[in-house]
Structure 1
């Protein structure tokens, strides 16, 4: 640390100014709130959400202004919160798929029970109907026995049984007829401007579950109805699941490394534009020095008219 005449905040501020970025530009690119960016430059790390976000935000900031995030964190490690704190360890574990396996099993069991409830209810209704038919048939048979002989009574019971069988068949066909009315979800592009794209998701499911998976570390943010549903780094090979409010009408995703990211909404894959050969070459060079996001390639991608690593995607639910 004795070789560093500048603080980490001053180093980042100088790099930002050298790139010609304002704090507003940086906020739009990284989706990190402006007040957090100011706190980083001023060295006021206590103003950030937690120890985990200090390093994550600094790394994202550094990569966006063309610095090596990992080297910068190592160089100024004595100025940053310890990675051994319980809050930091808990946050890292939260991002680890293996630590979420137990919770996922509980969620799966709950979902399975919820799926079985309608089936059980339908079975109960069918059994009640059959019992009602049986009772009605029995009473009819007993009344017929008093006025008719055994043969005519048998005919009556047979006729009633045929009616109940026909009623049961008609009842069993109703769910099949209604199932044909279900329409599959689909995406259609509404508009595209630079790194921003808007889609419409027709026949969106009531339960809007977003799953994000990357083949390389990527910074991702998910916003719905003006609120942040998720913001952080999705590690390589892991899957981040985000559940939106059932009444959500739209969602906006900021993907820091779009070509390496796969997103599904309600099990339907969201179309994400891939980099062209020129952009892919630029992105691969940047990716070798970054682990969380490719936001630093945005300016070079726009100058060569190729698809940017950083993409803002808005999906409107219909």
Structure 2
């Protein structure tokens, strides 16, 4: 993590505030207890119960607040020197294997029952003096093959390409963010809550966004970013190192 990037807890906490969600609502959606969520937002992972559960909590909370959890988990691994594959508990796989084996038909029991029937029929015919050789076959049902459940791959939010502020249609909110004095982490959501941009904006680069109703942003370093809204130059919207949350609408030359 570079000096300009907020911590894992800061990213999750600011994204939760940007989504207008409380810690209790996140807990209800993720089944992660409220004290653990508070601890993670303060970058305290000791209450998670280990690296494996810490990664799972980070992914669950990130999904609930609308951010990509994979980069945050990678940063956690870099900081804690762990490997997701090596930290995965073995009992989980043992339980899955046991449940799978219990669903298999008991072929041994079926074959023994069939042999007992054949022997009983032969003994009955010999005792009655009938010269008849019975042939008995146990009808064994073919095992059912269950198709594996396919899970769709997570979709990566599409970044909106920069465009000129003056070219935006009337009646829309137009936002331009430029990283002038340093790198800054940037999250942008439209009026439907869809993530338009979520990554570090490098120094010297800029991004422009449009929406008919509103745009909501979270800046990791308000002092490094220059902001224009609807063609109005708002300058820097925060101090150096300050995390800034702001909402803009079509009639706003200022933060909503």
Structures share fold, TM-score greater than 0.5: no
Provide the TM-score with structure 1 as the length reference. 0.36
Provide the TM-score with structure 2 as the length reference. 0.43
| Structure with a larger share of its residues in helix | 1
